[in-house]
Amino acid sequence: MSGKIFPTPQDAEATFYEALERADLEEMMSVWAEDEEIVCVHPTGPRLSGHDQIRASWAKIFAGGPGMRVRITQQVTLSGMMIAVHSVQEEFSVEGETRARSAAIVTNVYLRSAAGWRMLVHHASPAPRALDTTAPEPMAKILH
């Protein structure tokens, strides 16, 4: 566990996404709570719980090295004194590309502890493809 203290859930979340982009496993794990009841679900992946499973999953993801870019959009936050829930959309691209390759709908849950704010849950699901906003062709009227 890192000695780093995150004064706000936003600080913990910023570090989470910076670690994701840099493929920095130690920084990524510094965000997570010490509790073994932590949970992580990657898009289309199984539910992972505890430090060992979560660390192994991030190590596998980071094996390719840095180069992934993540842009956070549509953030909605709910905060209390001890818990914060952030719902965001992650848009992924590869370094140097301007267009997102994929997107995920994500819920991040943070708990306030003596060590500052720490992540309890990261749950990501593939975002649905953009809805077709073109107007449908009018249907022919059928008279009886």
What's the pTM? 0.82
Arithmetic mean of pLDDT over the chain = 86
pLDDT at 72: 87
Fold of domain 9-126: Nuclear Transport Factor 2; Chain: A, (3.10.450)
Q: Is the pLDDT of residue 114 over 50?
A: yes
Task: Identify the pLDDT of residue 137.
Answer: 53
Instruction: Kindly list the domain boundaries of the chain, sorted by start residue.
Output: 9-126
Q: Which long-range contacts (CB under 8 A, 24 or more apart) does 14-22 make?
A: 16/108, 16/119, 16/122, 17/70, 17/72, 20/68, 20/70, 21/66, 21/68, 21/69, 21/70, 22/66
